[in-house]
């Protein structure tokens, strides 16, 4: 957005923020949240919602007394519930003069760079036209292997995709505590996090409610992605009065995840490589090439390759490993695996050619180590 006071904000609303104690969608809770989104839009902010709730909105119609646990049952529930969820959002927004739109995404949509960029273009047009994009995982078609699985990481990836100014994740808890508050009543709220260290990761426990999927762990994974993408983020409790308005103004109670080194932010291309690409093969590099590639950010040349594993095309993303198979990073290759294997056989006669532009992905390297592909 142009004005400093007007932000582009991605807001993730978890199932627990939309449901009553019985697990059913609560119209009152939806109304409270959409009212605040309307206020934000009236103030000139652009808002993208990433909303869970499809399974919660559908399972009772299928005759389940509680949220089902098997994948096909959840998918069937989502097939009924997603339509209802969007219908409710559409009604609530239209009563304030805004239109809602539905965007359903699978991981394979994001692992294809063209489709990934296409989603961005679509959302940008919707925002330009004043529509509220409402994103959810396309639950009905995903398989276990291809699922985001939780909307926390999806929301962080969407925030990066649309170059959001802020990511707000609402939950049933008012932020990140230094221990799971259900197990440790003396746990304290962290008001600011500037780096996701192992200690921070260890604080996360399992989901709190019967309807939640990801728990604090997936929220922390999400904040790793948003922080690496340069997006200040916030975690707070959805039931708090005016939480969204206050969070946008950075006045709400909760945990703020700050971006301290904006110069290290991943650009769009690197975000895609780091978090969405799905590497297709691996290149083991010689030990003496490590410093040049990782620290000095030089390109990878054929003479520095020890071994090429798997089959990949020119333009694929591959894992770069050391001789002990430790992950060093991800790189986009300029040659296919067949070409690279041929170069090696031909005694590296092409040693001047650049194999992979790893140098520009050196920060991705660190992230790859920290965040397994597919979080």
Ligand X SMILES: N[C@@H](CCC(=O)OP(=O)(O)O)C(=O)O
What residues are designated binding site for substrate? 52, 139, 151
Q: How far is the CB of 236 from ligand X (least distance, A)?
A: 14
Verify binding: residue 176, ligand ADP, rule CB under 6 A: yes
**Could you say which of 11, 15, 37, 75 contacts ligand X (CB under 6 A)?**
15
Contact of residue 274 among ligand X, ligand ADP, none (CB under 5-8 Å per partner type): none
Residues 149-168 binding ligand X (CB under 6 A) are 150-151
Verify binding: residue 51, ligand ADP, rule CB under 6 A: no
Give the residue with the Cβ less far from ligand ADP, 196 or 365. Answer: 196
Contact of residue 55 among ligand ADP, ligand X, none (CB under 5-8 Å per partner type): ligand X
Verify binding: residue 212, ligand X, rule CB under 6 A: yes
Q: How far is the CB of 105 from ligand X (least distance, A)?
A: 10
Q: How far is the CB of 287 from ligand X (least distance, A)?
A: 42
Verify binding: residue 276, ligand X, rule CB under 6 A: no
Give the residue with the Cβ less far from ligand ADP, 236 or 279. Answer: 236
**Could you say which of 106, 136, 229, 255 contacts ligand X (CB under 6 A)?**
136
Q: How far is the CB of 32 from ligand ADP (least distance, A)?
A: 15
Verify binding: residue 208, ligand ADP, rule CB under 6 A: yes
The rounded distance, in Å, linking the Cα atoms of 187 and 261 is 29
**Could you say which of 101, 106, 153, 171 contacts ligand ADP (CB under 6 A)?**
171
3-state class percentages of the chain: helix first, strand second, coil last, to nearest 5: 40, 20, 40
Verify binding: residue 207, ligand ADP, rule CB under 6 A: yes
Q: Which of 174-182, 243-251, 258-266, 357-365 is the region at the interface with ligand ADP (rule: CB under 6 A)? A: 174-182
Verify binding: residue 14, ligand X, rule CB under 6 A: yes
Please work out the total of residues on this chain that contact ligand ADP, with binding judged by CB under 6 A: 24
**Could you say which of 38, 55, 156, 173 contacts ligand ADP (CB under 6 A)?**
173
Residue 219, exposed/middle/buried by CB under 10 A (0-12, 13-18, 19+)? buried
**Could you say which of 14, 81, 236, 331 contacts ligand ADP (CB under 6 A)?**
14
Q: What is the DSSP string of 267-310?
A: -HHHHIIIII----EEEEE-GGGHIIIIIS-PPB-GGGEEEEES
Q: Per the structure block, which two tokens stand in for 340? A: 């690279």
Q: Per the structure block, which two tokens stand in for 357? A: 């532009």
Give the count of beta carbons closer than 10 Å to the beta carbon of residue 6. 15
Verify binding: residue 137, ligand X, rule CB under 6 A: yes
Verify binding: residue 201, ligand ADP, rule CB under 6 A: no
Residues 111-170 binding ligand ADP (CB under 6 A) are none
Which residues sit in the known binding site? Answer: 12, 52, 139, 151, 171-172, 213-219
Confirm if 280 and 318 have CB atoms less than 8 A apart.
yes
Rg from Cα positions in the chain:
22
Contact of residue 339 among ligand ADP, ligand X, none (CB under 5-8 Å per partner type): none
Which among 30, 27, 26 has a CA at the least distance from the CA of 13?
30
Where does the chain have alpha helices with state H?
A: 15-18, 27-42, 54-58, 71-94, 107-111, 113-128, 151-161, 198-202, 215-228, 243-248, 268-271, 290, 337-345, 362-370
Confirm if 136 and 120 have CB atoms less than 8 A apart.
no
**Could you say which of 97, 122, 130, 182 contacts ligand ADP (CB under 6 A)?**
182
Residues 6+ apart with CB under 8 A from 224: 156, 196, 367, 370, 371, 375
CA 308 to chain centre: 30
Number of helical H runs and strand E runs in the chain: 14, 12
Give the count of beta carbons closer than 10 Å to the beta carbon of residue 155. 31
Confirm if 153 and 135 have CB atoms less than 8 A apart.
no
**Nearest-5° angle of CA 372, CA 374, CA 375?**
70
Contact of residue 54 among ligand X, ligand ADP, none (CB under 5-8 Å per partner type): ligand X
Verify binding: residue 46, ligand X, rule CB under 6 A: no
Chain positions contacting ligand ADP, by CB under 6 A: 14-17, 171-173, 176-177, 179-182, 203-205, 207-209, 212-216
Chain positions contacting ligand X, by CB under 6 A: 14-16, 52-56, 78, 136-137, 139, 150-151, 211-214
């Amino acid at each position: 957005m142009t004005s400093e006071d007007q932000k582009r904000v991605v807001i993730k609303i978890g199932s627990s923020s939309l449901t009553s104690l019985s697990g059913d969608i609560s119209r009152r809770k939806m109304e409270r949240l959409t009212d605040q989104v309307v206020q934000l839009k009236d103030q000139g902010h652009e808002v993208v919602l990433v909303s869970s709730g499809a399974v919660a909105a559908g399972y009772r119609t299928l005759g389940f007394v509680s949220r089902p646990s098997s994948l096909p049952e959840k998918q069937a529930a989502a097939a009924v519930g997603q339509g209802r969820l969007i219908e409710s959002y559409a009604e609530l927004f239209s009563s304030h003069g805004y239109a809602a739109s539905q965007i359903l995404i699978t991981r394979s949509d994001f692992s294809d760079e063209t489709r990934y960029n296409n989603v961005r273009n679509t959302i940008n047009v919707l925002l330009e036209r004043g529509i509220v994009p409402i994103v959810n995982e396309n639950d009905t078609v995903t398989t276990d292997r291809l699922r985001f699985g939780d909307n926390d990481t999806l929301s962080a990836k969407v925030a990066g995709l649309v170059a959001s100014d802020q990511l707000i994740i609402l939950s049933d808890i008012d932020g990140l505590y230094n221990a799971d508050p259900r197990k440790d009543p003396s746990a304290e709220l962290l008001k600011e996090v500037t780096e996701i260290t192992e200690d921070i990761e260890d604080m996360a426990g399992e989901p709190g409610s019967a309807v939640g999927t990801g728990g604090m762990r997936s929220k922390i994974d999400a904040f790793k992605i948003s922080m690496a993408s340069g997006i200040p983020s916030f975690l707070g409790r959805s039931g708090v009065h005016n939480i969204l308005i206050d969070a946008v103004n950075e006045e709400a109670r909760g945990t703020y995840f700050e971006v301290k080194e904006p110069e290290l932010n991943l650009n769009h291309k690197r975000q895609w490589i780091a978090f969405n690409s799905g590497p297709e093969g691996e290149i083991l590099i010689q030990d003496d090439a490590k410093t040049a590639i990782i620290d000095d950010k030089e390109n990878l040349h054929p003479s520095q390759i020890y071994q090429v594993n798997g089959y990949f095309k020119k333009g694929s993303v591959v894992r770069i490993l050391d001789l002990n198979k430790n992950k060093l990073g991800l790189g986009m290759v300029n040659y296919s695996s067949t070409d690279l294997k041929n170069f090696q056989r031909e005694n590296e006669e092409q040693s001047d050619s650049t194999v992979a532009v790893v140098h520009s992905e050196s920060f991705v390297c660190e992230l790859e180590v920290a965040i397994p592909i597919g979080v």
